[in-house]
Amino acid sequence: MSLKPCNKVDTNVTELEIQVSAEDFRAAVIKVFNRRKKSITIPGFRKGKAPLNLVEKAYGKDVFYDDAIELLFPDLIADAYEKGGIKAVDNPYDFDLKSVGDDGLHFSVKVVTMPEIELALYKGIQAEKPDTEVGESEVDAEVERLRERNARILTADDRAAKTDDITVIDFEGFVDGVAFEGGKAENYSLTLGSGSFIPGFEDQIIGHKAGEDFDVNVTFPEEYTPELAGKAAVFKVKLHEIKYKELPEADDEFAKDVGDYETVAEMRKGIAEEIGDRKKQDAERVFEEQVLGALVDHVMGEIPEVMFEKRAKENTDDFSHRLSHQGADLDSYLMYTGLDRDTFDAQMLETARRQVTLSLALDKVAALENLTAEESDFEEEYKNMAETYKLEVEKIKEIIAEETVKGDVLRKKAADFVLANAVNTAQAPKAPAKKKAAKTEDKEKTEKKTAKKAATEKEETPAEKKKAPATKKTAAAEKEPAAEKKTAKTKKDTPAKEE
């Protein structure tokens, strides 16, 4: 095979012109013939015994040309990529057969290549890391959640229902005196004030005692199901039982019950530490998203659309595969979430754009900083992948090439480098402090001069005060918006609110 000089015909598109000698092409024809000769019949010969020259004479010289080209093509392209230093991102296209025959094979193809990008900035990217300080109100809220979780449910004796009570009721709804489907339940547990039923329903239970029968008059909201929207309804209600929560006191005994604490003070300290750890993890994640999102925005260069499309398809296939493990498919998912396929595909494509651009950016950082992957890095990455996919490490090595793992390792190192060199604007030194101090000194000197002048000249000199305008700090990176997900609404013909 001979490869003519590669010709760049468009941005990220290269044309390869390949020639195969007559000898090599004839060898491919013979190989195809030997594979197919058992099915060939020529008069005067037993099936599969006719020689190649007679078969070509009977069926034409070019009878095996297409198959020979197909046989040679993959290796020819692979060799052309290696010799031409081509990094293709998609299959070749625009196959142009220039000549084929006794003189060999001559053709050209076009191929989309890996783009060359530049980074406007990758060191010193600014982003604001969220505050991780834990306030007393946050600890209080967690203590209240613990109290709620450990509450006792008691039965109210001979008193009327009130807000926050848990009532056990039977009900049946009627519109124009006719019961409607889905409007009936028995021994239903309803917390008053929860807002889980349509407006007015829960309020009309308040004040009634256990054992009472009464009517609840409501009007269904306009956005309810078409059959009931805006209609007046009467619910026949039987109140069986009234319960309430008794929360434990937040004392030392409570602290011992909910954790390895001896006192309330220890408990609050422990809770504060747990909240702090969560907030630090969240802050790191947010900071990372902002910084890497900004890195994407600093990419300069034209990226082939096909790279985004391929990644979007991979993401969709992976998502469908995960759905299948849950006993669902993509069509049912779209129906449940209320998404149409075009919207879903657009979301997948947008996500793919960010992913591909970030990968290229991290590859560029790895190259600029001469980052390397060691054997220990490979082993660690294979181990992590094995744990993720629940497979043996050796099996993962058989499935995933080392070159692919190398790319993942280098990108992770590049991401760590970018994050380590990023600037947290929330912790940036406040330079104006020095200026303020300097201005204070100048002001004091001015006031002394003014006082001296007033003492000698007996005049009053007004002091001119100037205030520097405040400067707002802005993060350099815009956080990548998550793809919006809609939730399907299920409308029930019950007094419950539409969820």
Residues 367 and 330: beta-carbon distance below 8 Å: no
pLDDT band at 347 (very low <50, low <70, confident <90, very high): very high
Average pLDDT rounded to a whole number, residues 403-416:
94
Residue 89: how many other CB atoms lie within 10 Å: 16
- DSSP state, residue 477: S
**Nearest 10 degrees: Cα torsion 404, 285, 125, 469:** 170
CA distance 459 to 186: 92
Each residue of 155-173: pLDDT tens digit?
A: 998 899 999 999 999 999 9
CA distance 113 to 86: 7
Pick the residue with more confidence: 455 or 426?
Answer: 426
Q: What is the pLDDT of residue 429?
A: 54
Q: What is the pLDDT of residue 24?
A: 96
Each residue of 103-138: pLDDT tens digit?
A: 999 999 999 999 999 999 999 999 999 999 999 999
Pick the residue with more confidence: 437 or 31?
Answer: 31
Query: What percentage of the chain reaches a pLDDT higher than 90?
Result: 71
Average pLDDT rounded to a whole number, residues 448-474:
36
CA distance 316 to 483: 14
Residue 148: how many other CB atoms lie within 10 Å: 11
pLDDT band at 271 (very low <50, low <70, confident <90, very high): very high
Lowest model confidence (mean pLDDT) among 121-135, 361-375, 392-406:
392-406
Residue 433: how many other CB atoms lie within 10 Å: 9
CA distance 497 to 499: 6
CA distance 125 to 414: 14
Each residue of 224-267: pLDDT tens digit?
A: 888 899 999 999 999 999 999 999 999 999 999 999 999 999 99
Lowest model confidence (mean pLDDT) among 4-13, 100-109, 267-276:
4-13
First-to-final CA distance of the chain: 67
Tokens 């290549």 map to which residue?
A: 113
Q: What is the pLDDT of residue 29?
A: 96
Pick the residue with more confidence: 403 or 20?
Answer: 20
Lowest model confidence (mean pLDDT) among 93-97, 171-175, 482-486:
482-486
β-bridge partners, 14:
8, 111
Domains observed in the chain: 2-114 (3.30.70.1050), 152-246+488-499 (3.10.50.40)
Task: Please check the confidence at residue 440 and state whether its pLDDT lies above 50.
Answer: no
CA distance 67 to 39: 15
In Å, how far from its chain's centre is CA 110?
34
pLDDT band at 434 (very low <50, low <70, confident <90, very high): very low
Query: How is residue 6 written in tokens?
Result: 């590669």
Q: What is the pLDDT of residue 428?
A: 56
Q: Which of 213, 212, 203, 209 is nearest to 156 (CA)?
A: 209
- DSSP state, residue 468: P
- DSSP state, residue 158: S
Highest mean pLDDT among 41-50, 96-105, 374-383: 96-105
Which run of H or E residues covers position 155?
A: strand 152-155
Task: Please check the confidence at residue 4 and state whether its pLDDT lies above 80.
Answer: no
Q: How many residues does the chain have?
A: 499
Pick the residue with more confidence: 74 or 437?
Answer: 74
In order of 68, 127, 247, 366, the CA distances from 74 in angstroms are 11, 47, 73, 31
Half-sphere exposure of 283 (CA within 13 A, CB side): 15
Tokens 């590049």 map to which residue?
A: 414
Mean pLDDT of the chain, nearest integer: 86
Task: Please check the confidence at residue 208 and state whether its pLDDT lies above 70.
Answer: yes
Q: Which residues of 173-186 are buried (b: 16+ CB within 10 A; e: fewer)?
A: bbbeeeebebbbbe
Task: Please check the confidence at residue 188 and state whether its pLDDT lies above 80.
Answer: yes
Task: Please check the confidence at residue 486 and state whether its pLDDT lies above 60.
Answer: no
What are the backbone dihedrals phi and psi of residue 129, each rounded to the nearest 5 degrees, phi first?
-80, 130
CA distance 496 to 499: 8
Q: Are strands 423-424 and 126-127 parallel, antiparallel or unpaired?
A: parallel
> Residue 227: which residues within 8 A CB-CB, separation 6 or more?
180, 493
Q: What is the pLDDT of residue 336?
A: 87
pLDDT band at 274 (very low <50, low <70, confident <90, very high): very high
In DSSP notation, 185-245 reads: EEEEEEETTS--B-TTTTTTTTT--TT-EEEEEEE--TTS-TTTTT-EEEEEEEEEEEEEE
Radius of gyration, alpha carbons of the chain = 38
Query: How is residue 169 written in tokens?
Result: 């009721």
pLDDT band at 34 (very low <50, low <70, confident <90, very high): very high
Lowest model confidence (mean pLDDT) among 225-239, 416-430, 448-462:
448-462
Average pLDDT rounded to a whole number, residues 176-181:
93
Q: Which of 177, 220, 166 is nearest to 197 (CA)?
A: 220
Query: How is residue 393 written in tokens?
Result: 């490490």
Query: How is residue 340 written in tokens?
Result: 């149409």
Prediction pTM value: 0.69
Q: What is the pLDDT of residue 223?
A: 86
